Structure 1
């Protein structure tokens, strides 16, 4: 337990009192912070900054909080919030080499459109039951049981139909390449 006298001595800069406070409060405070930031280095930095700010506060205001642990947790939360705000303001750094020229983007879009049309053409050439299974399972996201019920087939039959439909579709797409 940290006494008011130990806190006053630490605020005045007495090394022994600072060490005693750190020994008693470092681990629980570090655990509290690490739980929120999930990063060892960041948690260590914030824990250290929390101790510094607490001692500065006690020195400036010539007062000691009644519950030092709760006070330090509030200081830590404020530091964490400030850190998150700063990260949001900084945004994400992008390397100029990663930015594609407009022509490349347009070419990629054209390629995607061509591939989509190729898949649609292959789907239209499938047997109706293969097309129905792929539509329900892949396009609409129904489960095997739901698809089986809608098509009036067993779950095993739906799995086999889906497998065969995907095989035929892959073969059609390979032929087009």
Structure 2
């Protein structure tokens, strides 16, 4: 546990207090970060960055005494989110010189055909009512009320049938949440 006295001294720049705080918080902070990233090198980097941010913040601000470890975890989470956003923005590196547009388009087209055939095969395994409900609701875009009128069923029955049909379709296609 970190005392308020140690935090006060650390805010004033006392190196022994800073060292004590680091010794007391390093392992739980590292484990918390490692649990999130599942990579030793990245966890070490983020842990170091967290300490740099915390120590920089200590010099100019008062930090929460009652939950200092939580404060550190919040900073670590913010660093993690920043990294994830940067990775997301960067995307997948592509070597444009090796890229063949015709081949890529052909692969996408083949994948689309394969998916369509799988879905058509799965739909064929549904019963007639389920296929009709999915056709009207999803493929043709009719409302629940319109589908009920067209099929002669109640709106509740249409909703239930649609739900069950989608569940059956997911089982057939082996789709997991």
- What range describes the TM-score normalised by the shorter chain of this pair? 0.5 to 0.7
Aligned to 2:170: none
The 5 Å alignment of 1:40-119 reads: 40-61=40-61, 63-66=62-65, 67-102=67-102, 104=103
Distance 1:79 1:25 in 2: 17
Q: Could you report, residue by residue, the CA deviation over 1:39-88 in whole angstroms, capped at 9, with x for unpaired residues?
A: 11111111111112112222112x13121001111111111111111111
Local SS of the residue matching 1:10:
helix
Local SS of the residue matching 2:48:
helix
**Deviation of the 1:108 alpha carbon:** 7.4
Aligned-residue RMSD, C-alpha: 2.8
Local SS of the residue matching 2:60:
helix
Kindly tell me the number of residue pairs found equivalent between the two proteins. Answer: 114
Relative to structure 1, the CA distance from residue 108 to residue 81 in structure 2 (aligned partners, 3 Å threshold; closer, same or farther) is: closer
The 5 Å alignment of 1:1-177 reads: 1-61=1-61, 63-66=62-65, 67-102=67-102, 104=103
Distance 2:5 2:30 in 1: 24
**Deviation of the 1:107 alpha carbon:** 8.0
Q: TM-score of the superposition, structure 1-length normalised? A: 0.55
Q: TM-score of the superposition, structure 2-length normalised? A: 0.55
Which structure has the larger Rg?
Answer: 1
Give the gaps of 5 or more residues in structure 2: 115-120, 123-177
Kindly report structure 1 stretches of 4+ aligned residues shifted beyond 2 Å: 8-15, 104-109
Please say if residues 4 and 64 of structure 1, whose CA atoms lie closer than 8 Å, have aligned partners that are also in contact.
Answer: no
Local SS of the residue matching 1:98:
coil
Distance 2:106 2:79 in 1: 46
